[in-house]
């Protein structure tokens, strides 16, 4: 039987630490870490995420702004809001909620964000920093995965880590963070030959392909640490991961549930990145 990695509990623990740090940060610097979240349009899932981000900021005592812009906002208008936030001393983190309406070029928007305030770490400058291993800000989901593993007491150094999924948001940066932690890393994807064979080599398996219940017991080594980044809607409307939990849990040594595993960590890591950005900015002034 695997130990369940409780993302909610670990997330709460980190948020408590952030709360404490915010108090000492304010005492030392006379201002609060500040996050601005921009949402363009009416995507219902995005609205929920943004509401949760705002609430999370309030809970840890950050300054926060939510900028709601209509669907028909032009790219120019959005870029000028980012420009204003880039120059706003109260704001240390800027997050533009994705996806954007189709008429707005996502790359131009991400490039506009001051890399020092890029708390998603999606700007090519920060992507490059992660590649060189010299970074302050790491993308929230892969950073959350690292915290879950570390805080469960699992040693990463020297382990075989297989990541399934090669997205810019999860798979690729996850590989870099694992390398920085001295794992031996393999990245697999939809064209990988003998995927089950490769997965069975993993001491740490990170599942991030977005296919419900895709990973069965035949793809997991006895005693592996299994991290499920998948968030899929089942036929019954319930959330299901990429891992078939019922099959894999008896074989794994540690496993994250869905919901309640990686999910709760992403906003927590956003808070952590905002605090980090504020600290870096305070050092420069």
Residues near ligand GUN, by CB under 6 A: 95-98, 120, 140
* Shortest reach from residue 230's CB to ligand GUN, in Å: 14
* Shortest reach from residue 43's CB to ligand GUN, in Å: 9
174 as an active site residue: the answer is no
Q: Which is nearer to ligand GUN, 52 or 222 (CB)?
A: 52
Q: How many residues does the chain have?
A: 285
From the list 6, 53, 117, 174, the catalytic residue is: 53
Q: Which is nearer to ligand GUN, 118 or 249 (CB)?
A: 118
From the list 97, 118, 174, 242, the catalytic residue is: 97
Q: Which is nearer to ligand GUN, 52 or 74 (CB)?
A: 52
Q: Which residue is nearest to ligand GUN (CB)?
A: 98
* Shortest reach from residue 178's CB to ligand GUN, in Å: 19
* Shortest reach from residue 140's CB to ligand GUN, in Å: 5
221 as an active site residue: the answer is no
Q: Which is nearer to ligand GUN, 98 or 217 (CB)?
A: 98
Q: How far is CA 281 from CA 83, 99, 101, in A?
A: 17, 28, 31
From the list 6, 112, 118, 120, the catalytic residue is: 120
97 as an active site residue: the answer is yes
Cite the active site residues.
Answer: 53, 97, 120
């Amino acid at each position: 039987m695997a130990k369940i990695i409780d993302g909610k509990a670990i997330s709460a623990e980190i948020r408590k630490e952030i709360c404490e740090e915010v108090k000492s940060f304010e005492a030392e610097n006379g201002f609060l870490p500040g996050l601005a979240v921009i949402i363009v349009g009416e995507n219902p899932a995005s609205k929920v995420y943004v509401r949760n981000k705002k609430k999370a900021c309030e809970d840890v005592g950050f300054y926060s702004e939510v900028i709601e812009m209509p669907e028909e906002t032009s790219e120019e208008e959005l870029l000028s809001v980012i420009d204003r936030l880039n120059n706003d001393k109260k704001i240390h983190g800027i997050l533009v909620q994705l996806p954007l309406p189709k008429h707005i070029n996502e790359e131009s928007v991400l490039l506009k964000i001051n890399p020092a305030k890029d708390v998603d770490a999606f700007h090519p400058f920060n992507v490059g920093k992660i590649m060189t291993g010299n970074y302050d800000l790491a993308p929230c989901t892969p950073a959350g995965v690292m915290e879950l593993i570390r805080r469960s007491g699992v040693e990463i150094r020297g382990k075989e880590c297989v990541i399934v999924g090669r997205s810019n948001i999860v798979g690729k940066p996850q590989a870099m963070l694992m390398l920085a932690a001295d794992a031996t890393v393999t990245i697999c994807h939809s064209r990988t030959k003998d995927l089950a064979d490769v997965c069975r080599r993993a001491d740490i398996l990170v599942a991030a392909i977005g296919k419900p219940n895709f990973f069965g017991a035949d793809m997991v080594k006895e005693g592996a640490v299994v991290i499920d980044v998948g968030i899929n809607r089942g036929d019954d409307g319930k959330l299901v991961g990429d891992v078939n939990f019922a099959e894999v849990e008896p074989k794994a040594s540690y496993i994250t549930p869905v919901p309640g595993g990686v999910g709760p960590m992403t906003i927590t890591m956003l808070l952590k990145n905002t605090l980090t950005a504020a600290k870096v900015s305070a050092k420069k002034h």
